[in-house]
Homo-oligomer: A and B are copies of this chain.
């Protein structure tokens, strides 16, 4: 099991902000989102900070501070979010360099790298097909 809930939490935060704004509010605070996601506000701020660097959200400071969307949910895809918050590849290489004196040890990493890159490319394409508006629609369509 890998363990990256970063994409999940980021999508959660964006959907939350999007819904909150549709209800007429200007900005959402990290604490509100943290309560919904059942985690710590700092975790949310860290993630949203990466999304801001990617141009997906904006933040205001001072009184009445908080977060708002920088673009419509319709124009944001899970691919955008993935690129913003996922630091590394889906599949990892050996954690120590294999024996370069062995034919297999020498050639295995380039070989697997090639294969993995193709797969990641496919995953990115799949993620790009899903907008955050789709996500929010599915969220709201979930029966109680």
A interface residues, Cβ below 8 angstroms from B: 1-5, 7-9, 11-12, 15-16, 19, 35-39, 78, 86-99, 102-108, 110-112, 114-115, 118-119, 122-123, 126-127, 130, 135-136, 138-142, 144
Contacts and interface: CB of A to CB of B under 8 A. Distances in A.
Nearest to A78: B115
Nearest to A111: B138
A142 B90 contact: no
In the assembly, how many copies of this chain are there?
A: 2
Given A19-B104, A38-B105, A90-B90, A119 B127 contact: yes
Given A36-B102, A36-B104, A108-B139, 13 more contacts: A1-B86, A1-B87, A1-B88, A2-B91, A5-B93, A12-B98, A16-B104, A38-B105, A78-B115, A103-B139, A104-B136, A107-B142, A108-B135
A16 B7 CA distance: 36
Contacts of A99: 35-38
